[in-house]
Amino acid sequence: MTNTPPRLFLSPPHMSGNELRYIEEAFASNYVAPTGPMIAKFEADFCAYTGFSHAVALTSGTAAIHLALRLLGVTSGDVVIASSLTFIGSIAPILYQHATPIFIDAHPESWCMDADLLEETLTDLTRKNIRPKAVLPTDLYGQSCDIEALKKVCDRFDLPLIIDAAESVGARYQGVHTGRGATAAAFSFNGNKIITSSGGGMLASDDEALIEQARFLSQQARDPAPHYEHSTYGYNYRMSNIVAAIGCAQLEVIEDRVAARRAIFAHYSRELADIEGISFAPEMAYGRHTHWLSVMLLDPAIIKKSPEALRQFLEAHNIESRPVWKPMHLQPALKHYQMIGGKVSEDIFARGLCLPSGSAMTKADVTRVCTLIRECLSV
């Protein structure tokens, strides 16, 4: 019998221990469906943790973005400015609304939307008499985008800023939770995220009316009446009470999870620091990166192995790693949309690899990955 070490996943769920207890509480109260007190608790706890004054718990981060766009009146023919270096869940809601995305390249240090490029784009669109409906930057891999810089540009053009913070629960920007100061922010508790409710999302804002409208739309837009009355149509996007119970337990340990992911990133960076041609995702001075995923870059001028060869090597040792998000402007379904810049995202995609980053990883696990990286790169 071979002794294969257990599989190391990229970012598996990491339970706190209280999840089952809260699920049992939900069952005992028979609030299995349709709604229930765990949802209200999850929303209140999330507001307390992030500092937002209002939040609505939803079935996914994608749903949160969709509701935000719908409530901003994004509709057929409208333009929404978005990040190219992101996951499709950020962009699909623009298409659900039959609107047109314009993609903006990443800033070379933060890897999030470049505020200068945004300003140039909006100036250019204004000249052409095109007024976008919203700006939707992504916080990438656990780092906040430069909210102040982006907001300054949005304010100048009088545009709402919706932050796709799906990947950045726990990240901070200038001392507060990421997303604060924007019109709204969308978060994800998908199974691969820093905390997970098994699947789910949250739309948060300081605008009470916006969140109340989102809550209304998330429950099929039922007008107050004893029968089913609809003055508009909505969606079945509300989080279930059972899912919220998991979310409540996960939120209790978010700071531990951030500390663990940051420690894993520090371990990789330290242990591989001497290898010329390897670098890591930078942390901006303006905030706290959670390093939801630890991302490494290989310089092809120095390192002859490609990120894909390294990925396959790790896979052969039962270790999951992943390429960086393939930029949206390179996606077959999206490549006809306008892209502003592109070299930075393309370079990060070509040179990047996301390493196993789960918060339950031991030091020995990280060391094993580092040893295999050295072996593969022969350094």
Give the nearer residue to ligand PLP in terms of CB position, either 16 or 138: 138
Tokens 């490029």 locate to 117
Give the nearer residue to ligand PLP in terms of CB position, either 89 or 307: 89
Give the separation between CA 228 and CA 259, rounded to whole angstroms: 47
Is residue 11 a contact point for ligand PLP (CB under 6 A)?
no
Find the binder of ligand PLP among 86, 197, 250, 359 (CB under 6 A).
86
From residue 113, alpha-carbon distances to 2, 150, 280 in Å are 47, 8, 18
Is residue 62 a contact point for ligand PLP (CB under 6 A)?
yes
Is residue 292 a contact point for ligand PLP (CB under 6 A)?
no
Find the binder of ligand PLP among 13, 36, 89, 247 (CB under 6 A).
89
The nearest distance, CB 143 to ligand PLP, in angstroms, is 12
Is residue 166 a contact point for ligand PLP (CB under 6 A)?
yes
Q: With contacts defined by CB under 6 A, name the span among 10-18, 161-169, 252-260, 310-318 that binds ligand PLP.
A: 161-169
Is residue 168 a contact point for ligand PLP (CB under 6 A)?
no
Q: With contacts defined by CB under 6 A, name the span among 25-33, 57-65, 71-79, 100-108 that binds ligand PLP.
A: 57-65
For helices 241-251 and 37-50, angle between their N-to-C axes, nearest 10 degrees: 30
Give the nearer residue to ligand PLP in terms of CB position, either 19 or 139: 139
Residues 177-216 touching ligand PLP, rule: CB under 6 A, are: 188, 190, 201
Give the separation between CA 368 and CA 138, rounded to whole angstroms: 32
Give the nearer residue to ligand PLP in terms of CB position, either 306 or 331: 331
Give the nearer residue to ligand PLP in terms of CB position, either 140 or 377: 140
Is residue 61 a contact point for ligand PLP (CB under 6 A)?
yes
71 close to 217: Cβ distance less than 8 angstroms: yes
Give the separation between CA 67 and CA 213, rounded to whole angstroms: 9
Q: With contacts defined by CB under 6 A, name the span among 60-68, 96-104, 145-153, 218-226 that binds ligand PLP.
A: 60-68
| Site string (103-142) toward ligand PLP, x via CB under 6 A | -----------------------------------x----
User: Binding residues for ligand PLP, per CB under 6 A?
Assistant: 60-62, 86-87, 89-90, 138, 164, 166-167, 188, 190, 201
